[in-house]
Amino acid sequence: MSDINLEKIDDFRWRIPKAYKPGMRVPGIIYCDEKLLKDIRQDKALEQVANVAFLPGIVNASLAMPDIHWGYGFPIGGVAATDPENGGVISPGGVGFDINCGVRMLKTNLQYEDVKDKLKDLTYALFSDIPSGVGSKGDIRVSAKEEQEILIKGAQWAVEKGYGTQDDLDCTEENGAMPGADPEAVSERAYERGKAQSGTLGSGNHFLEVQVIDQLYDRNACDALNLDLGQVTIMIHSGSRGFGYQVCEDYTRSMMSCLQKYNINVPDRQLASAPLKSDEGKAYLGAMKCAANYAWANRQCLMHLTRLTFEKIFNLAWQKLGMFLIYDVAHNIAKIEKHIVDGQEKTLCVHRKGATRSLPAGHPELPERYKKLGQPVIIPGDMGRNSYLLVGQDGAKETFFSCCHGAGRLKSRTAAARSINLDTLLKELESQGIIVKASGRGTIVEEAPQAYKNVNDVVSVVHNTGLAKRVCRMRPLGVIKG
């Protein structure tokens, strides 16, 4: 429980003053309302916001999105930008263990009426065809040479193998690959863990969800995206699997020595970091980009497998089914970006831990098709509530064009397992017309709706602060969990 005395800025913003802890270089800013603040105070995430403010070179503020909860070093839902020209550091704890865990959303030409009688078959087929669960291994096996290609090419590798199209890359952040990946900065153990996990969903909060649009908020944006009420959509949430986890583990351990070497004073050793201009900082950034590219390739492969399953169930090519990618957003990533600070353009390292980019219309990094609309922002909920599609807004300028990435946990997995009855939960979901398949019964309980904040409350804050604008809302129909 956190009792930090926060200063209220307005109905949706709160400040942790620099005076809260000697050594804070900037204040903390939390985006939430009174209702969410009560939930946020249940763990030590606010303390972590204050701790992040100690990082050398941090710019403006240590930021927290409305889905914030306790994490490793940084809170999940934490954003921080550091200035490499002012001693700015990069911290593996500010990226997370599942590097470039992210979400992609597909539309279809199918309506709810087209799938309702096939929903059970479809959900079971997706569960059968897409490997999921802890340590899951897929049919897409790669040689050591090919694995290095994945780390450089990202989703493009998958497209070259026939697992997608150029159009998919155009609708993926960074076109599915960050330049500057350094395979030499990756350990043998990471290579070993990653070689059999391409095209696998993983465990925990990773999911594949068949959804239906149940509410429209912006008719013009929906028309631009060819979206309408009753239309079936799909979300895929996965990341860099064991490969990214090992990269983070390797560098969180090795960077402990950097704290003393570079005289970095932080109140939590989980904030181990290195100057961006140091050898250690450059090595981590190169390895992190490898893991990010692995994740984009993984989600591309997962989408390919999803398209194949739909083809099998509906006996039509995926193109005829209209299964086109709307967008793929990354969270758990650090990116070198240009931002305006105090009227001057600066090159910064933006850490987004459980946070995603939210670029407004006209931003130079947007693909041409979204220049007028703004970047699609995907905020999934839990398996019993809604998910949202939004578009980036100018208001996100104050967060380095960042937004939240989901609902945010309310209960730990242990607490959820203790307090939620599986049979009761499954009956509740079934009564809502939701079919769930998971590799373990425990996963369903750990990922129950009661374990998460209400995504509708979270998205309300995002919309009202101008971080992103609501476009449409989806509800789950069939859910695949690891």
Mind listing the pLDDT tens digit for each residue in 84-113?
Answer: 999 999 999 999 999 999 999 999 999 999
Average pLDDT, the chain: 93
Q: What residues are paired with 325 via a beta bridge?
A: 106
Rg of the chain over Cα atoms, rounded to whole angstroms, equals 21
Length of the chain: 482
- Report which of residues 205 and 379 the model is more confident about: 379
Question: Residue 481's pLDDT band (boundaries 50, 70, 90)?
Answer: confident
Mean pLDDT across 383-410: 94
Question: Residue 140's pLDDT band (boundaries 50, 70, 90)?
Answer: low
281, 336 in Cβ contact below 8 A? no
Question: Residue 452's pLDDT band (boundaries 50, 70, 90)?
Answer: confident
Mean pLDDT across 329-340: 97
- Give the global pTM: 0.95
Question: Residue 145's pLDDT band (boundaries 50, 70, 90)?
Answer: confident
Interior angle at CA 399, CA 397 and CA 404, nearest 5 = 120
Cα distance between residue 236 and residue 104, in whole Å:
5
164-176 confidence digits (pLDDT tens): 999 999 999 999 9
Model confidence at 407: pLDDT above 80: yes
**Residues ≥6 apart with Cβ < 8 Å to 13:** 29, 30, 31, 465
Q: Which of 206, 331, 351, 405 is catalytic?
A: 405
Q: Which two tokens stand for residue 107?
A: 């539309």
Question: Residue 136's pLDDT band (boundaries 50, 70, 90)?
Answer: low
- Side-chain-side CA neighbours of 116 within 13 Å: the count stands at 8
Q: Does domain 7-481 have CATH number 3.90.1860.10?
A: yes
Question: Residue 409's pLDDT band (boundaries 50, 70, 90)?
Answer: confident
At residue 43, the pLDDT reads: 92
Q: What are phi and psi of 76, to 5 degrees?
A: -75, 125
Model confidence at 139: pLDDT above 70: no
417-448 confidence digits (pLDDT tens): 888 888 888 888 888 989 998 877 778 888 88
At residue 345, the pLDDT reads: 96
**Residues ≥6 apart with Cβ < 8 Å to 407:** 67, 379, 380, 381, 382, 385, 452, 453, 454, 455, 458
Is 405 considered catalytic here?
A: yes
Q: What are phi and psi of 285, to 5 degrees?
A: -60, -40
268-319 confidence digits (pLDDT tens): 999 999 999 999 999 999 999 999 999 999 999 999 999 999 999 999 999 9
- Over pLDDT 70: what percentage of the chain? 98
At residue 135, the pLDDT reads: 54
At residue 58, the pLDDT reads: 98
- Over pLDDT 90: what percentage of the chain? 81
19-63 confidence digits (pLDDT tens): 999 999 999 999 999 999 999 999 999 999 999 999 999 999 999
Question: Residue 7's pLDDT band (boundaries 50, 70, 90)?
Answer: very high
